[in-house]
A = this chain, B = another copy of it.
Amino acid sequence: MNSGDEAGSGPAISGKRTTIYDIAQTVGTSASAVSAVLNGTWRKRRISQKLADRISAVAVEKGYSINLQASVLRRERSNIIGMIVPKYDNRYFGAIAEQFEEGARKAGYFPVITCTQRDPNLELEAARMLLSYQVECLIVTGATDPDRISDLCHAAGVKVVNLDLPGSKAHSVISDNHQGALELTRVLLSVRSAQTGRDECLYFVGGRTNDHNTSERVRGFLQAHSERGMTVPAANVLACGYAAQKAYDSLSALGHVPKGIFVNSTISLEGAVRWLTDLPAQDRQDILYCCFDWDPFAALMPNCVGMAQQDVPALLERVFAWVATGKTSTTVELVPCRLRLQQP
């Protein structure tokens, strides 16, 4: 009695999930037919509407859900697209992750993102994992060593594109850091000089000079000064790394209060703003800064002259366009940044 016919008795009891064989058996047909009906190729196989309906009904009734591990294993394509991203808890990378998922779904992929905390070992480890899950394509965002990951992907025959930070072994889509920094510095220089009546060198805070993006931004920063005939002392460039605390510390360590600051990234900005709020009110008054990167609240802070917003939709559009071509290249594609200036 306890081993009676359970056909039509609803979802499988814990443990065993319903398979196409279960469905085939209760319908009285073959697994092939069930598979074809469930994956939409049944018209092509000229299965009768009647059988298709019956199969679909039983599938729903039993709470069937395809086992994609099996499906992917059998098919040639996995339909999975992977992304490596340094952080989520950051407006820029948060927006990248979010819009990447959206774009991936639109392009018919299942997106899998993993966050690697700017740790080179984690990056490599994560890339290996994603390759093991048979991603068809890997987007490598802001990786410290994109070329090693490119090698891995090439060896596995997997498409790869670098985003945000360029590499030399794959196509790269990055913001035009030089242009953005140049324009942003020009604005801050001119606002400062209108305020004080004279030209004065700015400070640059955050990042590392051996990082491509930082060095491009420093280049724009210096160029904007030299356009005005100014030469920036080396001591004005505080490339102290990315941690917020580092920005705080190196500003505090200066021994005087710089009045015009170019902050490199919102992460450094957290430190800079904390430093600012810890100052006595009178010192704080006439300090102005700008920041490369955009954050909705940071943009509205009182001492902020403007921010350079990276164009996330355009960056991702370029990435997906590149993925679609399927070509290989080692070109660097530059996407301009948008300046968002504080209303005076």
Q: A95 to chain B: which residues have CB within 8 Å?
A: 88-89
**Residues of B with C-beta under 8 A to A11:** 155-156
Given the complex, which residues of B lie within 8 Å of A298, measured CB to CB?
297
Q: Which of A12, A114, A343 has the most CB of B within 10 A?
A: A114
Cβ of A56 under 8 Å from chain B: no
B67 touches A73 (CB 8 A): yes
Query: How far is it, in angstroms, between the C-alpha of A178 and the C-alpha of B70 when the chains are bound?
Result: 46
Q: Please tell me if the beta carbons of B156 and A65 are within 8 angstroms of each other in the complex.
A: yes
Evaluate contact between B115 and A114: CB separation under 8 angstroms. no
Q: How far is the CA of A66 from the CA of B102 in the complex (A)?
A: 29
Q: Determine the distance from Cα of A14 to Cα of B132 in the docked complex, in whole angstroms.
A: 16
Q: How many residues of A contact B (CB 8 A)?
A: 58
Min CB distance, A22 to chain B, in Å?
A: 14
Interfacial chain B residues near A98, Cβ < 8 Å: 87-89, 115, 117
Judged by a CB distance under 8 angstroms, whether A245 is at the interface is no
Bound-state CA distance A301–B296 (Å) is: 12
Interface residue? A163 (CB, 8 A)? no
List the 10 closest pairs (A to B, CB-CB), nearest first.
A297-B297, A89-B94, A11-B155, A63-B155, A88-B94, A88-B97, A68-B132, A297-B298, A69-B73, A14-B157
Instruction: Known A-B contacts: A63-B155, A69-B69, A88-B94. Give 6 more (CB < 8 A).
Output: A68-B129, A88-B93, A89-B95, A98-B115, A300-B301, A302-B302
